[in-house]
């Protein structure tokens, strides 16, 4: 069954209010609202349902779908059969979860508007690039910030992160171009304020560079709005909307799909940059952007590694678990992250033909690291572990080792091989502890080439 889903229109009164405001009071309002934007690490756990279950005994009796069984019920027996099964899962994931991704553009255009040899006190080469790519409604663009370590062999393995508040939030470097961001959840955009520089404490660029990795980043707000009916406001989903269609229906892509597409376009550029080793690019994202990097890595095999921080439901946590956030609560707070088809599974999630173990398996045999946090039960760390375990047989089939255990580790005990996993103490955030594990994982898998 394929149905269209109508989203609410929460912004109408706000638009009216904005229109009635004089220019100066509008400016003041925008300044206040922008200043109130949360940093990634401090994002509130929006959409949390007070009725959520946190009792493991009530999480439900279910079996995760087996990634090694074809849609027709036949088992996948050899590595040679995997690409066919992989294509089946990818198609189901697109049809029923994130939506179909538009074709890769044949050509991108880009402009390097900054190429500075002695950035960050001589520690890095800094480049800033605007990437332009075609859509049915004209060219879209996004800004990519890149630091390449000065004293490391080139081309450098590179971590490409997708950030929340703008490229300028990842470091206090005053030369980073200020992003154009949405005013909270209003459908109005403006340049991010100077005060937002270096505000995202989830990144320690200097530390990453000191380990010999390049660091690149794009801002999700420059790709697709993160609010209800964002598809009306000039993001990629609007630009790809077929003529005559006025709202997403069926398998039309959600915001996560659009953000993932933005990562792939950044990769299009990185492939052309001689300082970056395009065969050793890891993608990293937190929370909704952890979901995004899993989907990006699942689709785009150019990404050599995926680092999914606290991705939770809609990411590495199985839809089938009734624990913390559920499809039901998500369908109310964040329906636009997914395709409308997903919402038809509310109340019958056991009928969803795929689940997150298969999302992880789509990345195999490339390394993937999944994290949770002890105080972030909303994201269901145990569920993420179960999905990582269930993806293991695909890694094994392809000659890699997954987690290599089905015992949930204790807090702050990283485990795994080609699938890495930990639950750290503390809350929903990206911390130095998380990065220490990511960099060790990258050393083990990306430096070996
Ligand atoms: C909410 C949402 C999560 C999401 C998180 C975030 O808490 O329910 O699914 O991961 O926001 O992106 O910060």
Give the residue whose CA is nearest to atom 8 of ligand 1.
Answer: 47
Pairing of strands 186-191, 305-309: unpaired
Identify which of 40, 47, 311 to mutate to test ligand 1's pocket (most ligand atoms within 8 A of the CB): 47
Predicted confidence at residue 184, as pLDDT, reads: 80
> ∠ CA 234-237-241 to the nearest 5 degrees?
100
3 within some domain: no
Give the Cα separation of 125 and 145 in Å (integer).
11
Reading the chain (449 residues) residue by residue, the pLDDT tens digits are 223 333 333 344 444 343 333 333 333 333 333 333 333 333 335 567 778 999 999 999 999 999 999 999 999 999 999 999 999 999 999 999 999 999 999 999 999 999 999 999 999 999 999 999 999 999 999 999 999 999 999 999 999 999 999 999 999 999 999 999 998 878 899 999 999 999 999 999 999 999 999 999 999 999 999 999 999 999 999 999 999 999 999 999 999 999 999 999 999 999 999 999 999 999 999 999 999 999 999 999 999 999 999 999 999 999 999 999 999 999 999 999 999 999 999 999 999 999 999 999 999 999 999 999 999 999 999 999 999 999 999 999 999 999 989 999 999 999 999 999 999 999 999 999 999 999 999 999 998 54
What pLDDT does residue 47 have? Answer: 62
| Alpha-carbon Rg for the chain in angstroms | 21
164 found inside a domain: yes
Residue 127's pLDDT is 98
Element holding 162 (H helix, E strand): strand 156-163
Residue 89 CA: distances (Å) to CA of 4, 67, 297, 359:
23, 8, 14, 8
- Per the structure, the count of domains in the chain is 1
Q: What is d(CA 273, CA 268) in angstroms, rounded to the nearest whole number?
A: 9
Give the three-class secondary structure for 155: coil
- Considering the entire predicted model, what is its pTM? 0.91
Of 294, 356, 378, 384, the one to substitute when testing ligand 1's pocket (max ligand atoms within 8 A of C-beta) is 378
- Going by DSSP bridges, is the β-strand pair 156-163/214-219 parallel, antiparallel, or unpaired? parallel
Residue 286 CB-density burial (10 A; 0-12 exposed, 13-18 middle, 19+ buried): buried
- Residue 288 Cα to ligand 1 midpoint, Å, equals 6
Q: Rounded to whole angstroms, what are the CA distances from 71 to 267, 345, 354?
A: 32, 19, 10
The yes-or-no answer on residue 317 being catalytic is no
From 11, 286, 422, 428, active-site residue: 428
Q: Is there a domain that residue 6 lies in? A: no
d(CA 250, ligand 1 centre) in Å: 23
Query: What would the two tokens of residue 71 be?
Result: 């849609």
Measure 228 CA to ligand 1 centroid, in angstroms. Answer: 14
Cα separation, 175 vs 166, in Å, equals 13
pLDDT for 160 equals 99
Domain assignment present for residue 2? The answer is no
**Ligand 1 pocket: which of 226, 308, 319, 325 to mutate (most atoms within 8 A of CB):** 325
Residue 110 sits in which domain range? 12-445
What is the CA(202)–ligand 1 centre distance, in A? Answer: 16
Question: Which ligand 1 atom sits nearest the alpha carbon of residue 43?
Answer: 13
Cα–Cα distance, 47 to 269 (Å, whole number): 35
* Residue 4 forms part of a structural domain: no
- At residue 302's C-alpha, the angle toward residues 301 and 307, to 5°, is 80
- Residue 174 falls inside a structural domain: yes
Which two three-digit tokens encode residue 235? Answer: 């993001």
For ligand 1, atom 12: residue with the closest CA: 288
The answer to whether position 163 is within a domain reads yes
- Structure confidence at residue 118 (pLDDT): 97
Report residue 363 as tokens. 């990345």
Looking at residue 46, its pLDDT comes to 53
The pLDDT value given to residue 6? 31
Distance CA(190)–CA(169), nearest Å, equals: 15
For 355, the token pair is 């689940």
Q: Catalytic residue, from 287, 317, 329, 356: name it.
A: 287
Q: Is 150 a catalytic residue?
A: no
Q: Give the CATH number for residue 114.
A: 3.40.50.1820
Residue 1 domain flag: no
């Amino acid at each position: 069954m394929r149905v269209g889903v109508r989203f609410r229109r929460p912004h109408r009164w706000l638009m009216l209010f904005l229109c009635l405001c004089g220019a100066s009071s509008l400016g003041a309002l925008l300044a206040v609202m922008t200043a109130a934007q949360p940093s990634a690490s401090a994002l509130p756990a929006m959409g949390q349902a007070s009725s959520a279950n946190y009792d493991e005994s009530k999480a439900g009796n279910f079996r995760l779908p087996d990634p090694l069984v074809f849609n027709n019920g036949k088992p996948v027996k050899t590595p040679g059969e995997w690409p066919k099964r992989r294509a089946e899962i990818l198609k189901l994931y697109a049809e029923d979860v994130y939506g179909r991704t538009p074709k890769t553009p044949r050509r991108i255009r880009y402009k390097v508007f900054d190429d500075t040899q002695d950035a960050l006190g001589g520690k890095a080469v800094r480049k800033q690039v605007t990437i332009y790519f075609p859509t049915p409604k004209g060219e879209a663009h996004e800004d990519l910030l890149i630091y390449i370590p000065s004293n490391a062999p080139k081309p450098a393995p590179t971590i490409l992160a997708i950030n929340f508040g703008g490229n300028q939030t990842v470091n206090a470097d005053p030369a980073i171009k200020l992003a154009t961001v949405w005013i909270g959840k209003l459908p109005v955009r403006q340049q991010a304020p100077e005060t937002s520089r270096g505000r995202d404490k989830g990144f320690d660029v200097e530390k990453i560079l000191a380990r010999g990795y390049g660091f690149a980043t794009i801002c999700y707000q420059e790709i697709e709005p993160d609010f209800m009916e964002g598809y009306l406001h000039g993001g990629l989903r609007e630009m790809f909307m077929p003529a005559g269609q006025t709202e997403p229906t069926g398998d039309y892509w959600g915001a996560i799909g659009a953000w993932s597409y933005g990562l792939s376009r950044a990769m299009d550029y990185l492939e052309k940059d001689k300082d970056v080793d395009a065969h050793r690019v890891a993608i990293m994202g937190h929370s909704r952007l952890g979901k995004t990097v899993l989907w990006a890595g699942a689709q785009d095999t150019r990404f050599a590694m995926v680092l999914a921080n606290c991705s939770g439901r809609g990411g590495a946590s199985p839809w089938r678990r009734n624990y913390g956030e559920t499809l039901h609560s998500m369908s109310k707070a964040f329906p636009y992250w997914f395709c409308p088809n997903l919402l038809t599974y509310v109340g019958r999630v056991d009928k969803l033909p795929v689940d997150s173990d298969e999302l992880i398996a789509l990345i195999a045999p490339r390394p993937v690291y999944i994290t949770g946090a002890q105080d972030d039960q909303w994201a269901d760390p145990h569920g993420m572990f179960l999905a990582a375990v269930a993806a293991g047989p695909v890694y094994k089939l392809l000659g890699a080792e997954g987690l290599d255990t089905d015992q949930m580790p204790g807090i702050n005990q990283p485990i795994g091989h080609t699938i890495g996993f930990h639950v750290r103490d503390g809350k929903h955030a990206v911390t130095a502890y998380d990065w220490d594990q990511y960099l060790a994982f990258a050393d083990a898998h990306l430096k070996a080439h």
